[in-house]
Structure 1
Amino acid sequence: MPKQNRTFAVIGLGAFGSAVASELARFGNTVMGIDQDESRVAKLAEALTSTIILDATDEQALREAGVDRYDVALVAIGHDIESSILATMNVRVLGVDQLWVKAINKTHHRILSKLGADRIILPEQEMGKHVAQRLNNPVVQDYVNLGNGFSVVTMAVPERLKGRTLASLEIGSRHDVRMLGLMRGTEFLPCTTPELELAAQDKLLVLGRRPELRAFGDAL
């Protein structure tokens, strides 16, 4: 199980960094927000555990702020590639266990890989794929790409299927996907009973390869 209440240092409090930092804090984690912009820091002063105004390209400043004592650091600096690279190098030197970095483009991504970032995020590309998946099939609420062609998707049960049983979906016979369970409000229901009747607003959790998932979604 993942360690609870981990500590995070988020460097760069633009739209992306501030959203990540706020959510991490909402989950109950210890979060320090760092930015050069005083107004950005001030906006998150009450939401985060701590905030500090400093230049992340200054290794000594990061060390004095105690960034090396955090479990995870996220470098989320916006369009200043040079500052992002220098901040990434500094955090790597400090020896933070996990280093995540926001990349602006593929060239930036390659440079960050060479610097030893543990995870590199291209937010616009990832969100674009996410939106395309939902536009392609309106019943898809969310999805997680597991690699090797497999994904887990959340599919909304259409109104017309209300009262139908799980068995009627022909999962495993007509459709080569696997049902992991369904969410009914905030309750998780395992799909171990074929006679379980579907309700409006149910969300199916389905595992499979992209073509099979698409076919199953179209059938819904």
Structure 2
Amino acid sequence: MAKEKRSFVVIGLGAFGGTVALELARFGNHVLGIDLDERRVSQMASALTGAIILDTTDELALREAGLENYDVALVAIGDDIEASILTTMNLRVLGVETIWAKAASKTHHRILSKVGADRVILPEQEMGRHIAQMLNNPAVQDYVSLGNGFSVVNIVIPARLSGRPLAALKIGQQHDLRMLGLMRGTEFLCCDQDGVALQADDRLILLGKRPELRRFGDVL
């Protein structure tokens, strides 16, 4: 059965909001982009389902645009914190089911959470932590934080371990981690497959708490 597409409205079409809107549209979703800047709206018009100039601090304007009919709203307004807060409040009043909002600071984050945002993101800080993790350990190609201290990481197997059995890594024994699988090129290998020997540039997918993941990366 084909996955049902959802409808999204992205408010603020700067570098962050514009990128999110374009990616959502690329996945085949119905995406409406909104901004006060005519140039940004014009640039997005052909790539999105719709793009309009609108003052989203005006609740009546949002209602007339039918935003209450959208499944998800992303408030990606940049420097105007007051507009970001008022827009988030208006979307909640309208009854938009899910609201994500971009924050410019921790204080902004707290306010957005209080006025109705379901999830608040600090893109610069989150990306900074992401990059620091990879710079700190070159073996880590990517990672996803799951909350409560847990992360999933993608670790590249070094050439010196080529030919060694997967069991030699002693994951779950010396290391309190869970192995989710192994990627070899575009092929996914289950971690319970007998006789799997490591190859250089295999990518190991691990779940665990960050300190233990760091220790494993350091000894790999």
Deviation per residue, 1:25-76 (Å, 9 max, x gap) = 1122111111111111122122212111111112122222221111000000
For the residues of structure 2 that align with 1:166 and 1:44, how far apart are their CA atoms?
48
RMSD after superposition = 1.4
Q: CA deviation at 1:184?
A: 2.3
Q: Runs (4+) of structure 1 moved beyond 3 Å?
A: none
The equivalent residue for 1:86 is 86
Of 178-187 and 107-116, more deviation after overlay is shown by: 178-187
For the residues of structure 1 that align with 2:217 and 2:194, how far apart are their CA atoms?
19
For the residues of structure 1 that align with 2:40 and 2:20, how far apart are their CA atoms?
14
- Residue 200 of structure 2 aligns to which amino acid in structure 1? A
The equivalent residue for 1:53 is 53
Does residue 163 (structure 1) correspond to residue 169 (structure 2)? The answer is no
- Residue 181 of structure 1 aligns to which amino acid in structure 2? G
Of 167-176 and 78-87, more deviation after overlay is shown by: 167-176
Q: Is the 8 A contact 1:99 1:118 kept in 2?
A: yes
TM-score under structure 2 length normalisation: 0.94
Q: CA deviation at 1:93?
A: 1.0
Does residue 188 (structure 1) correspond to residue 188 (structure 2)? The answer is yes
Question: Which stretches in structure 1 are left out of the alignment for 5+ residues?
Answer: none
For the residues of structure 1 that align with 2:85 and 2:48, how far apart are their CA atoms?
25
For the residues of structure 2 that align with 1:77 and 1:214, how far apart are their CA atoms?
35
- Residue 34 of structure 1 aligns to which amino acid in structure 2? I
The equivalent residue for 2:9 is 9
For the residues of structure 1 that align with 2:187 and 2:158, how far apart are their CA atoms?
19
Identity %: 70
For the residues of structure 2 that align with 1:179 and 1:25, how far apart are their CA atoms?
34
Of 54-63 and 103-112, more deviation after overlay is shown by: 54-63
TM-score under structure 1 length normalisation: 0.94
Question: Which stretches in structure 2 are left out of the alignment for 5+ residues?
Answer: none
Q: How many residues align?
A: 218
Q: CA deviation at 1:146?
A: 1.9
Show the 5 A alignment for 1:129-148: 129-148=129-148
